[in-house]
Structure 1
Amino acid sequence: MTDRPRFQFSVAATDGAARTGTISMRRGDIRTPAFMPVGTAGTVKGMKPADVRGIGADIILGNTYHLMLRPGAERMARLGGLHGFMRWERPILTDSGGYQVMSLSDLAKITEDGVAFKSHLDGSRHMITPERSMEIQRLLGSDIVMAFDECTPFPATRDRAASSMERSMRWAKRSRDGFDSGVDHAAGAALFGIQQGSMEEDLRRQSSQALLDIGFDGYAVGGLAVGEGQDEMFRVLDFAVDMLPTDKPRYLMGVGKPDDIVGAVERGIDMFDCVLPTRSGRNGQAFTWDGPINIRNAKFAEDLAPIDPESPIAPWSRAYLHHLVKSGEMLGAMLMTEHNLWFYQQLMAELRAAIAEGRLKAFADGFRARYKGNKA
């Protein structure tokens, strides 16, 4: 592992604004565009790590907020870090904890220093600062560390968006300094900055320039997929992505639906994460090339066809999945989750191939026409 690069991004082909390439790190290569399954609490729910790798995932996401509360960052370090603890030896990206602190905790208070909050688990009081976020991610053994930021709520007034973005940029500098202070970890990990600015083009530009002045290994577009709708998200991406360097990976946080991903790839995004495929699987929704289906629907009760003949769960019929999900059986959630994560990885593979072969527009148009045509 030591003879591999700390972090290197190479673009193999472009098609319009879209790119396909590779992020090389000490724990392995990440093919881009990439979708990262979310392992919130040190597990991709319902999946063994080997099976997550088996369906094509190169990297997963861990959640700083949840892991700092349980089992605790210091305990995780004593146990050898997140990789060894959960038996996933490939790259892990950890978010900063900022979004969860502000969305899940009771009475979070934001100050210039950081965010004070109560745990949603037991009401205990905690404080996350940019420096503490970097320390937690270091203790977890993260490969890609996210700068600590304030996720601007939507909708937000211009003044609110500006003050939130400006604070995030000050926190970005403190995150950079805190990350660099962990010399041993920083020697093998990468740090991403997060662009903010809500829906405002000039604020996004100010944010991007501040991040470039600090310098990061990669850049995320934050503050989207927070309720603004797909059209507005794409409108922002149309200007926000071009503000970020072409020689660094671009990550759209918390996105999303398959058609969101396709549109974002067309606009130059390289990395994605979202709980949707796992959460939907647990709730009986399967993603298919013909659009999402609700396996609870009575029309599937005697349907002996698989969800997809190429899916790893193809041996089990829609009728059996319908029965499992309706019965509340654990296996139903597991199989549906595996299928959804496989589908997302297949979508990413098709996008990479389409970009490499210069046919992304045809693929994307065909995908949208087929995907949106289903009303099951």
Structure 2
Amino acid sequence: MWPTLTWSPGIDDATEKTMRLSDLGEFELIDLITHHQPDAHGRLLKGIGDDCAVIDGGGNSATLITVDTMVEGVHFSLETSTPEGLGAKLLAVNLSDIAAMGGTPTEVFLAISASPDSDATIIERMVGGLQASGARFGVQLAGGDTTATDGPLVLSLTAVGACPVDEVVYRSGAVPGDAVYVTGTPGDSAAGLAVSKGVDGVTPAYREMLLRRHLRPEPRLEPGRDLSTRKVASSMIDVSDGLGGDLRHICRASGVDMVIDPDRLPISEALGAFCDTSGQNPIDMVLGGGEDYELAFTTCNHNFAVEASFECRLSYIGTVTEGVGEVRIGTVGSSQRYEKKGFDHYSR
């Protein structure tokens, strides 16, 4: 249970203890916001608590809406990322949320907060990269907002998508007995971030691959849509804050536990080589790294990895069990609770 915060307008509460966000944490802050949110009603089918809000579009259609913000110095550096690459990544992280719900992206809206002294050419190139990437996915920039700030460059993108109502995949559908899968090779982006900061020792080819995975992620739109259309996935999430922490979100939304077999976690050759030279534990990087933008999902079909024909790698990594919302590492009957939280913006 998150701490109870009270505020009374017009009353001097200087004597009240201040609860700082660093004490609360990002996910507890979201819980606090949710605590004041009324139940979904009217056209809102799903509000806070999933990768997208889901709005009834009439008939059998649903509208998916998501927003992500990137702050210079927190999420990106123009010393390591090109403006075009930054625009493409900003789009990708939003489209990944649409993919996690099984939807098809349609439009995006861009809000830019920049210093009056900012180089307009950089912003123009960033928007060009976003537009070029959007053309690949059939996504149009439909509007936005601009404002001045004395702080760093802030980019906020709102993405809109569509999906038949009966094909939307939520985090809350996992049941005991389901198999747990993940696309791609989580952990690569975290290694790419380290490489961009000077931690190296891998071959040029591995270095390029890890940097690309961090700087230019690919949203898994086709796998997400396929899992939705064929009603394969019982639950799904976009892996953005670390595989272990994001799987915990599914567990808590579904009221189950998961047992993840560390021997089944997909480790790319590039990540393995990086860990060999840096001394990092590859399992920790796979479970705790962020910004992978892969899809983790559950299904009652334990042979799905054999039957699937995705272009990306697909790995069976564990099983859903009865429980109360925890991820456990090991095998059924012999596992330990996964303690690490996902990436938290307010942790110190």
TM-score, normalised with respect to structure 1: 0.24
Higher relative contact order (CA 8 A, sep 6+): 2
